[in-house]
Chains A and B, each alone.
Chain A
Amino acid sequence: MTVPWPSRPAQVPVLALGDVLLVTLQGELLDTAAEQLQQDIAQRVARSGATGVVIDISGVDIVDSFLGRVLAEIAANARLMAARTVLAGMRPAVAMTLVELGLTLPGLATALDVERALELLSGHPLAAVPSDPGKEDT
C-alpha cells in the first residue's frame, strides 16, 4: 500500500547555549530515536561539562510511559554529571494525561517555557529555584 507517510523525522537538535544544552523535541519521536537521544545527551554533557539541560517539549503532543522513562533517565544521567535538567513547555493536555497515567517524573524540574527554564538554571532571582543556586562544587 502506498499511503503517504511523512519522511523520517530529522535528528533531534541539541544546541549549546553557554553552559546549558537546549534539546528541542518535535512531533513524533520513534522509540529508537528517543533512546539514541538519551545517549547523545549523556555524551554531550560529559564532553562539554554543561551544568544544565533544557528539554523543550512544547512541540510534543503526547508523552507515554516510554518517553516519560527516557526523560527521567536523561535527567538521572545528567545529575550524575552534576547537570540539572528542566522540562520546558509541557502542554496542559499532556500534563493532565500524565497524571491519569500515573507518571510522576520524579527529579525532573519543569518550567512553563524555555526562557523560564534558563532562568531557573541560572538561578535568576525571579525564578523559583528549588535548590541552592550557589551549590556548584561536587
Chain B
Amino acid sequence: MEAVSRPVTAELPIGSDADLSRVRQRVRQAATDLGFGLAQQTKVVTAASELARNTLVHGGGGLMEMTSLDDGHRRGLRLSFVDHGPGIRDVELALTDGYTSGGGLGLGLGGARRLMQHFTIDTTPGQGTTVTVEAWEQGVPTARRGTP
C-alpha cells in the first residue's frame, strides 16, 4: 500500500526558538485540517517540537518540510527535519531514553518515535541529519466536517 504524497506543502526554517513556536503552530494547523483528533494533534505537535528543537540545538539549525499524505483510505502527515550539522554517530545510543550529549533529558528522539506511526533517521557524521516522521488518521472513523 503505497502512500500517495503530494508535493511538499510547506517548508519552515528552524533557526531560533521563535521558529520552534511557528513550527508547532503550523503542525497544529495541519493536523487539525487533516481531521486528527485532539489526542493525536497533541502527540504530533509534541513530537514536532522535540525534533525541531534537536534540529536547532544539535544540528545547528535547518528546516522542516511538511507534506500531506493520502493512501486512499486515510490521510496522514509527513514531517522531515533537515539539518547539515554534525550528524549522529551512534543512532541506537541517541534513541536510548535518557541518553543526552548535552544538558537535556534525552527523551526527545525516543519520545518522538513512540508518539508517531513512522520514524526514520538518515544521518551521516559530518554531513547532517534528517529525521522523518509520519502520523496517520486513526481511531474511530468520524464524520469529516465540511466547514473549514
A and B from one assembly? yes
Which residues from chain A sit less than 8 Å from chain B, CB to CB? 5, 28, 30-32, 61-66, 68-69, 91-94, 96-97, 100-103
Task: Kindly list the 6 A-B residue pairs having the minimum CB-CB distance in the complex, ordered from nearest.
Answer: A101-B111, A93-B42, A31-B17, A64-B49, A65-B107, A30-B17
* Cβ contacts A to B, 30 pairs, < 8 Å: A28-B21, A28-B24, A28-B25, A30-B17, A30-B21, A32-B17, A61-B28, A61-B45, A62-B24, A62-B46, A62-B49, A64-B46, A64-B49, A64-B50, A65-B104, A65-B105, A65-B111, A66-B49, A66-B53, A66-B104, A93-B38, A93-B39, A93-B41, A93-B42, A96-B39, A97-B39, A101-B50, A101-B115, A102-B97, A102-B107
User: What residues of chain B lie closer than 8 Å to A64, measured between beta carbons?
Assistant: 46, 49-50, 53, 108
User: What residues of chain B lie closer than 8 Å to A31, measured between beta carbons?
Assistant: 17, 20, 53
* Residue of chain B at shortest CB distance from A91: B42
Distance between Cα atoms of A63 and B97 in the complex (Å): 17
If over half of B's interface residues share one DSSP class (helix, strand or loop), that class is named, otherwise mixed; here it is: helix
Distance between Cα atoms of A97 and B24 in the complex (Å): 15
User: Is B111's CB under 8 angstroms from A103's CB?
Assistant: yes
How many inter-chain contacts with C-beta < 8 Å in the A-B complex?
Answer: 71
Which residues from chain B sit less than 8 Å from chain A, CB to CB? 17-18, 20-22, 24-25, 28, 38-39, 41-43, 45-46, 49-50, 53, 97, 104-105, 107-108, 110-111, 114-115
